[in-house]
C-alpha cells in the first residue's frame, strides 16, 4: 500500500502549531521564535485587520460564516506557502473551535485539516489569567477565553493531534522549550 500524499508531505516538512485560548502568550512566543525559525502569524488577527481596514463584515461580531471562510482560505494558503520548517500561531483545527463557537457547519474545515497536515504534537498554551489582556481584536473576557480553550482542545483531539503543554514561564523559556522539542 502506498503512503498518501499528506504522509509524504510530512516527511519533507516540519510544520508545528502553537495552540491555546486567546491571551495565553502564543503571539509573544512566536515573536521570540521568529529570531530562530520561520513563523506564520495567526489568521484570525490578520483577517480582522483586513476586514476592519476595508469596512468588511467578515468578523466575529459581523458575518461569522464569512469570517471563518476567510480564515480558512488564509490558513490553507499559509500552509501551502510555508517553508520546510515553520511554526504557526494557530492551525486549521482551531477553525473547528470557531465553527463550534458560532454554531456553523464544519465540513470544509474538516476537509482542509485532512488535506493540510501538521506535526502531530501541538504546543498547547493553557489559559493564564496573570498575562491575559483584552485589546481591540480580543474582546472575550478571561472566562470566555477559558470556554473557547475547551473548544480548541476538543478540536485538536477530534483531529488526531496530541497537545504538549507549554510551561507558564518567560516567553524566551517557552520558545526554548518549543525549539528543543522541534529539534529533538
Identify whether the C-beta of residue 121 lies closer than 8 Å to the C-beta of residue 73.
no
Give per-residue pLDDT as tens, 31-87.
999 999 999 999 998 999 999 999 999 999 999 999 999 999 999 999 999 999 999
Domain-wise residue ranges, the chain: 5-182
Strands 121-124 and 85-89: unpaired
Identify whether the C-beta of residue 115 lies closer than 8 Å to the C-beta of residue 77.
no
Nearest of 160, 173, 144, 172 to residue 17 by alpha carbon: 160
* CATH class, range 5-182: alpha beta
Give per-residue pLDDT as tens, 157-167.
999 999 999 99
pTM of structure: 0.88
Amino acid at each position: 500500500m502506498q503512503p498518501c500524499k499528506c504522509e509524504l508531505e510530512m516527511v519533507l516538512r516540519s510544520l508545528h502549531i502553537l495552540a491555546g485560548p486567546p491571551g495565553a502568550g502564543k503571539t509573544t512566543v512566536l515573536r521570540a521564535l521568529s529570531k530562530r525559525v520561520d513563523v506564520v502569524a495567526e489568521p484570525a488577527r490578520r483577517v480582522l485587520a483586513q476586514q476592519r481596514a476595508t469596512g468588511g463584515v467578515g468578523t466575529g461580531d459581523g458575518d461569522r460564516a464569512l469570517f471563518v471562510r476567510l480564515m480558512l482560505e488564509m490558513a490553507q494558503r499559509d500552509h501551502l506557502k510555508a517553508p520546510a520548517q515553520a511554526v504557526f500561531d494557530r492551525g486549521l483545527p482551531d477553525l473547528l473551535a470557531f465553527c463550534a463557537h458560532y454554531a456553523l457547519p464544519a465540513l470544509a474545515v474538516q476537509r482542509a485539516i485532512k488535506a493540510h497536515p501538521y506535526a502531530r504534537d501541538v504546543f498547547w498554551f493553557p489559559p493564564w489569567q496573570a498575562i491575559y489582556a483584552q485589546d481591540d481584536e480580543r474582546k472575550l473576557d478571561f472566562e470566555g477565553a477559558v470556554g473557547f480553550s475547551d473548544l480548541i482542545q476538543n478540536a485538536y483531539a477530534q483531529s488526531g493531534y496530541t497537545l504538549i503543554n507549554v510551561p507558564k514561564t518567560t516567553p524566551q523559556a517557552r520558545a526554548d522549550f518549543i525549539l528543543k522539542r522541534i529539534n529533538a
